[in-house]
Structure 1
């Protein structure tokens, strides 16, 4: 707590354990005691209660005795008992093209539909950016205490999957399953948390048929040569979401197929199967004939089935705004009278140097170039989601260097063992970093500015480290701060404790060898550290270990 004063009669040697708490938690508990328990106490008492609750959660049995050291009267002139406005998140809503305060339909619960992969090829880097954006969005909502239900569709039945499976000479199901397995492997590499549900298009065909039968019965769809089309002229709001006047759409912009329509601008709900598809058994019997669903139909129906007629967030990509999202809205609103989602969030695409690079650049190719899943994830999320990313080797190398700055700072903090020279303003420093970082994230996930705050904090930490003004307790607090941010960033190395311990032991052994004049053994240890990705810089007073990839970077 910032406003904490140690009583003069306090005897430190009688203390078994010291627990730190930030002001916000103490304030919140103080208000809760007054509101729910009728106890009019001060901030220090709120801190005591908050710590007691936290400790009780970790105890299997026993009794906790608390002493409330202050009353609430002296805080009446402060903002302790003011009516508090909850921390608010703002998102840029494509529906209306403006930032809006996020307010889910059900308090503390969020329903989110994410446009998922098409199972016909390995995900390219642009698709991976979209999936990492979904993950950052979900994790940050969960960080704020929301219970998130995330549904991500898997398209295993459409033109791309059907044509690709035939070209490969494989049946559709095993062909798509292999690519679905690759998708889940890629998500694990990128540190993407699994969605709550992954419905596959092929598993809910009956629901799609029933939906489109209703659309036809209501006059929004018509049959033409055994295919079913959506009549966009019947839906007066068509184009309002994307800002496109459908009357000015050039033929071929909406779809490029060989089927006849009453209006070439209408989109397909179900398309009649070709002879090759009939032979493969890729068809469904309906009142329109042997057909299979269109992509827009699949997404609209799956979102409705698993999240209801209206849900909180649709997350996708800017190139899906038209026609895909517009068509989803047209279908859903024609049947339910409501847009399917309250907030529409779309990340920008990649900018590639060539069409060939765009089509061929996959996650696996970046891994083959030597980049790790962590580095690629950091590269994908480190730019604001609504701003396009230009793919160049220089840009991804810059992301690697930035991540190494964070890694080096953590490594330096983990090696601190001394207990003297405490950083007196450590709690205030950490509170400011966390508050400033989350304030930027609350502003439409402004990750670029948020990371700028983190880099500034790292420079400050290195200054304190150089002056030997951070002890072991301070270091642990800072590490806890990084772990707090990593709850939604998910960029810190996992399972690195053993390696860090091994590195520390080698550095200590090398220091001892240098002091004892055993320089040959010291050089051997240096080579071993370099092989582990660490380079040691010998100064007059001590050795400083650094990531080998950033050996030329200044620590500050």
Structure 2
């Protein structure tokens, strides 16, 4: 039985979707005012991995992830670039897709944008005003936080302590307009030359929190299965989403709340963020490294655990990925000499590995434990293909299982008969090592294998070069 850690109840719970075999999931997406850094990418990868595992287990997943395209940060960036907010949003949404496509992150079922849902946002705020949960002041609309009795439950916050902290971070002007320092903005009155829309309260734009409530309910219904995002969104963003959504609909908002851990950097494990200026852009990292290795680093850590980014951790990911790619290459090479039938003992071993993998991943998507069984599968493959007699049925079984399990983590292998550049490089490195060890039989075998795949090697004083026919 699949279990997830529910932040709302602070415990692990059996997962039961509202509709059998269907998962409705909403994940908070980026504010599109800049390129994403690898901390942003970690969240996208974590929930893509969760989505893929649900699909592996036979679920249909409706996956909604928004773009915040109306925000102070976009307004400031538009001014800095002498551009417009929509143009800035379009630019960085395109960049987001470029980066996430490179990381093999499946695109969401829908990526709604705040600016495309203004009528729905206004209607939602009207409901809250009519119910007494919100109040207009000079073109702004605020949510009455204390009126929602369960406020603070998700993040484990005490309302009185929150009030004391909030009063220290609110300007005197804003404090004078609010009934309570804890109240938060649903609608913001327009300032001169800012992007805005007409509303019952005058020209303005939505606050940050309201958009996710509106768009998740629009596409998934008043109550849905999973709401996800980074740990930094627990408070105040997700806390505010719950308060305004449940006040408006009268129903439980999301049934399970999942939050991914941070990417940390440096000796003091500082959280990576743009505000701290200690970030690494995803596009810079994947330009200088195999995107699959970057994805592998992020996907093979259990989603709630922090990831410490360093060149050493990235190199470890590259090495582990090479183990899988080598097993894939070795396996496919043996098809040419395989005999008909199956090797039942190896088939049974592969089935046992899959069962152990599912047990590990069913425990709150424990990627680290799950990967130990994928490595075990790679070892089983490497041992089997060294046998004098191998059988086509078992090779196909092993190949399909390795492809499916690795695919959950976003890893793609070359199709049969096609070597990726990384596969070629790995085999060349193995050949160089074999020659140094005077294992000329293995060296010749690798050269012949590559030649069959249309890869020509040229041994030069500067090293081995290669090209395709």
Matches within 5 A, 1:234-313: 234-249=147-162, 250-252=164-166, 259-260=174-175, 261-277=178-194, 282-313=195-226
**1:199 shift after superposition:** 0.9
Q: Secondary structure at the match of 1:289?
A: coil
**1:237 shift after superposition:** 1.0
Residue in 2 that maps onto 1:443: 363
* Alpha-carbon distance change, 530 to 150 in structure 1, aligned in 2, over 3 angstroms: closer
* Alpha-carbon distance change, 225 to 530 in structure 1, aligned in 2, over 3 angstroms: closer
Structure 1 position 480 matched with structure 2 position 380: no
Q: Once the two structures are superposed, what CA deviation does each residue of 1:486-538 show, in whole Å capped at 9, x if it has no partner?
A: 4422302345733379x9xxxxxxxxxxxxxxxxxxxxxxxxx6598554124
Q: 1:175 aligns with which of 78, 85, 88?
A: 88
Q: Once the two structures are superposed, what CA deviation does each residue of 1:174-221 show, in whole Å capped at 9, x if it has no partner?
A: 111010000111111011111111111001111111111111121111
Structure 1 position 376 matched with structure 2 position 301: no
Residue in 2 that maps onto 1:542: 442
**Could you tell me whether the CA contact under 8 Å between 1:124 and 1:358 is conserved in 2?**
no
Residue in 2 that maps onto 1:228: 141
Residue in 2 that maps onto 1:125: 38
Q: TM-score, normalised by structure 2?
A: 0.85
**Could you tell me whether the CA contact under 8 Å between 1:270 and 1:294 is conserved in 2?**
yes
Residue in 1 that maps onto 2:458: none
Residue in 1 that maps onto 2:464: none
* Alpha-carbon distance change, 541 to 192 in structure 1, aligned in 2, over 3 angstroms: same
Q: Which has the larger radius of gyration?
A: 1
Residue in 1 that maps onto 2:381: 461
Q: Which runs of 5+ in 2 are unaligned?
A: 451-469
Structure 1 position 411 matched with structure 2 position 311: no
Residue in 2 that maps onto 1:360: 279
**Could you tell me whether the CA contact under 8 Å between 1:142 and 1:148 is conserved in 2?**
yes
Residue in 2 that maps onto 1:148: 61
Q: Secondary structure at the match of 2:304?
A: coil
Q: Secondary structure at the match of 1:121?
A: coil
Q: Secondary structure at the match of 1:192?
A: coil
**Could you tell me whether the CA contact under 8 Å between 1:133 and 1:347 is conserved in 2?**
yes
> How many equivalent pairs are there?
429
Q: 2:313 aligns with which of 382, 395, 405?
A: 395
In structure 1, C-alpha distance between the alignment counterparts of 2:120 and 2:374, rounded to whole Å = 48
**1:472 shift after superposition:** 4.7
**Could you tell me whether the CA contact under 8 Å between 2:413 and 2:420 is conserved in 1?**
no
In structure 1, C-alpha distance between the alignment counterparts of 2:323 and 2:409, rounded to whole Å = 15
- The Cα RMSD (Å) is 2.5
**1:445 shift after superposition:** 0.6
Q: 2:372 aligns with which of 448, 452, 460?
A: 452
Q: Secondary structure at the match of 2:418?
A: helix
Q: Once the two structures are superposed, what CA deviation does each residue of 1:56-76 show, in whole Å capped at 9, x if it has no partner?
A: xxxxxxxxxxxxxxxxxxxxx
Q: TM-score, normalised by structure 1?
A: 0.72
**Could you tell me whether the CA contact under 8 Å between 2:326 and 2:426 is conserved in 1?**
no
Q: Which runs of 5+ in 1 are unaligned?
A: 1-87, 504-528, 548-556
